[in-house]
Structures are given as structure tokens and as C-alpha cells.
Amino acid sequence: MSFMKMLDIDSDFLKAASNEAFMDELRQEIERKLDKLDEKEMLPHCKRDVIQLISGIEKAKIRFLQGHIRVQQLYREVDANLSMFKKQYPKFDYLNDPVVNAYYA
């Protein structure tokens, strides 16, 4: 999973983000997409925590789409979120993480 793939904004995301209730539905959507993952699978982190990470990334993308932040800020925020997560879970590698890959696939 590349960093650029995380920043990708597809047409479905754009349509959904224009809905006023999208922010409320975001976490549920992330959880729904990740439900197919086996909870017993050995992960270097808690699935709940990576859901919060993905939610933060998606919220930053929405703020970018709404014009509240510039692309440089979006990049910095996503990078900062990944770095903070990596500090909490040193074995975390977003390029090869099964949860991150399941969501952004």
C-alpha cells in the first residue's frame, strides 16, 4: 500500500463526502469494510486503533476537499498520523499492513 494510494480520492468518496452525514457514517463504513478480516489474525496492532488511524486520514481528506486545508497540510497530517501510529506500534508498516491494505484496496 503506497502513501499515494492513501491520499487517493475516488468518485465514490467524493460523492459520499458531499453528504452532510458522511462524517457520522465514516467510522461505520471503515468498520464494515474491515469486518471481513479475521479478528484472530496476528496483527502488530489493535484493529480498533488502526480504524482510528484510517478515520483520521479520511477526515483529513474531507477537510482538504472542503478547502479547509491545502494539499501540503493534508500530506503532513497523514504523515504525522502514520508516524504517531508507528511510535505506538513499532512493527507497523502501512505498506504491508493487512488492515490498511483491506481498506484502501
pLDDT in tens, 63-81: 888 788 999 999 999 999 9
> Across the chain, what does the average pLDDT equal?
79
pLDDT recorded at residue 16: 65
Of the pLDDT bands very low, low, confident and very high (cuts 50, 70, 90), residue 84 is: very high
Name the pLDDT band for 47 (thresholds 50, 70, 90). Answer: confident
49-53 long-range contacts, Cβ below 8 Å, gap at least 24? 49/85, 49/88, 49/89, 50/85, 50/97, 50/99, 50/100, 51/27, 51/99, 53/81, 53/82, 53/85, 53/100
